Every structure is written in C-alpha cells, then in structure tokens.
Amino acid sequence: QVQLVQSGAEVKKPGASVRVSCKAAGYPFTNFYLHWVRQAPGQGLEWLGLINPGGGISPTYAPRFQSRISMTTDTSTSTVYMELSSLTSADTAVYFCARVGSYSKFDHWGQGSLVTVSS
C-alpha cells in the first residue's frame, strides 16, 4: 500500500535550517507530485510547495517562503526533502508531505514531522 514515512522531530535554534525527509513506498515514485503542508500548534493548514519527482519542471513554492525554502528529490531512495532556512519561532509546526494524484487530490499523507524552533 502507499506509504509516506517522514523523518523524526527536530529542535532548531533561530536562524538555523532544517531538512525534513519523506520516503515514499508502494507506488511508482516518479508518477506523482509530492506537496508539503505545515500546521503550527493549534492552527490551520498552510501549503508550502510542490515537487515533481519525475523531474522536468522546477519545484513550485508558496511566495512567502520562496526565498528560504528548497525541495529536492532522490529517486534512488524514493525520497523527497524539504529544507527551510532562516528559522524563527513562527516556523514551529508539524510539517507534512502529501502525494497528489489525479484531480489534484491530496490522497496520501505522511505522519508529520514536528519542527520546534527555540533558543
């Protein structure tokens, strides 16, 4: 079955960077886009960006994160990575990856990775 397994919790200091991984299994990795969404404590869902593991086009990022976010793919391990830099306390959140299938439906989600930014 489709599985998206994310890396574990991280604690970072303000100004640092964090990299979260999302390992896919159970489907053809390069056939589906992967998106990243985050959720601050007690808050709603915020879309961060998308990447096409099959390549051919550059990742697309939400404008407010454009200058400090990067998404990459390692097809040899069926893993996508999301790196966020210049962290502040406002970046404390659970970060989710999600597979997007036909009709732009976010049909499978990772379990989430908690990133805590604290001095």
Task: Fill in the DSSP letter of residue 25.
Answer: E
Number of residues that bind another protein (CB under 8 A): 22
Q: Which stretch binds another protein (CB under 8 A): 23-31, 74-82, 85-93, 108-116?
A: 108-116
Residue number with CB closer to another protein (1 or 119): 1
Nearest to 87 by CA among 57, 118, 41: 118
Phi/psi for 9 (5° steps) reads: -65, 150
CA dist 111 and 29 (Å) reads: 18
Residues 54-73 that bind another protein (CB under 8 A): 60, 62-63
Binding site for another protein (CB under 8 A): 35, 37, 44-47, 49-50, 60, 62-63, 96, 98, 103-107, 109-112
